[in-house]
């Protein structure tokens, strides 16, 4: 499979034109992935544009790609959104990376009541880190659309969202299995998966979400870590909606 790179210039490039990679993307292509002249590669803008091309020049500072083909990939519908509670260490980052590789369309960091990690004044830094992880994971997975990373949410924000989207809260004690509700029509609404922190979702949060229209669901008889629950749930959704 051809190596894939991301550049905003892919948005308008047409067959026959040359797209120039510079900066970090050129260094990654030439010095890390070691692309060579006449090698076939693909390029995208992360918003649906998909180009095929041949490398015509390659140095760590500049890589030139002559476009040989162009496709447009429509945005997925319905969107799969992961609301990932902040977690200690790198557990939330592992969750974000895996979710991106597995097809999530948007990610929302959640400052849950039981989140040990607190972004507070460092929210901008945290969002920047998650967006970098998402971009690199999407590129590695050859995704035409790079998932959006939205601003940090509080529980009240999720409660409001439950009034408009299909919100599925992963809760080990729930009576409904995700497999039983995953294929339900969402009428174009976002399908939102809510994953709690290490200590689980607080009872008052579960009550507020359920009262606003969210559904509590479980994956099975085992309790997964916050770093793996979202990825497992996305796999179920992807199969149920025909993406896999």
Q: Answer yes or no: are the C-beta atoms of 243 and 113 closer than 8 Å.
A: no
SS3 breakdown of the chain: % helix, strand, coil, rounded to 5?
35, 30, 40
Would you state the pLDDT for residue 187?
Answer: 77
Residues pairing with 72 in the sheet: 49
pLDDT category of residue 89 using cuts at 50, 70 and 90: confident
Provide the CA 191 distance to its chain's centre, in angstroms: 13
pLDDT band at 185 (very low <50, low <70, confident <90, very high): low
Strands annotated E in the chain? 3-6, 18-22, 40-44, 49-59, 62-72, 80-85, 106-110, 148-149, 166-170, 176-177, 191-195, 215-218
Angle between helices 91-101 and 123-140 (to 10 degrees): 40
- pLDDT confidence bin for 74, thresholds 50/70/90: very high
* Cut 0.85: pTM above it: yes
**Are the beta carbons of 135 and 128 closer than 8 angstroms?**
no
| pLDDT band per the 50, 70, 90 thresholds, residue 201 | very high
């Amino acid at each position: 499979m051809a190596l894939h790179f991301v550049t905003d210039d892919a948005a308008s490039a047409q067959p026959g034109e040359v797209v120039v990679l510079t900066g970090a993307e050129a260094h990654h292509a030439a010095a890390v992935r070691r692309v060579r002249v006449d090698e076939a590669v693909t390029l995208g803008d992360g918003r649906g544009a998909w180009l095929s091309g041949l490398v015509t020049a390659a140095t760590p500072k500049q890589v030139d790609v002559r476009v040989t083909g162009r496709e447009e990939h429509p945005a997925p519908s319905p969107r799969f959104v992961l609301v990932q509670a902040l977690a200690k260490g790198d557990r939330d980052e592992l969750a974000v990376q895996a979710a991106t590789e597995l097809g999530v369309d948007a990610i929302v960091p959640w400052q849950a009541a039981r989140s040990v990690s607190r972004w507070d004044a460092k929210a901008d830094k945290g969002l920047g880190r998650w967006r970098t992880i998402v971009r690199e994971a999407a590129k590695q997975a050859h995704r035409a659309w790079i998932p959006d990373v939205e601003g940090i949410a509080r529980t009240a924000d999720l409660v409001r969202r439950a009034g408009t989207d299909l919100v599925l809260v992963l809760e080990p004690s729930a009576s409904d299995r995700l497999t039983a509700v995953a294929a339900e029509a969402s009428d174009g609404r976002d399908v939102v998966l809510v994953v709690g922190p290490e200590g689980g979702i607080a009872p008052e949060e579960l009550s507020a979400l359920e009262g606003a229209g969210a559904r509590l669901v479980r994956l099975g008889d085992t309790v997964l870590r916050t770093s793996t629950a979202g990825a497992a749930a996305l796999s179920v959704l992807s199969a149920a909606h025909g993406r896999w």
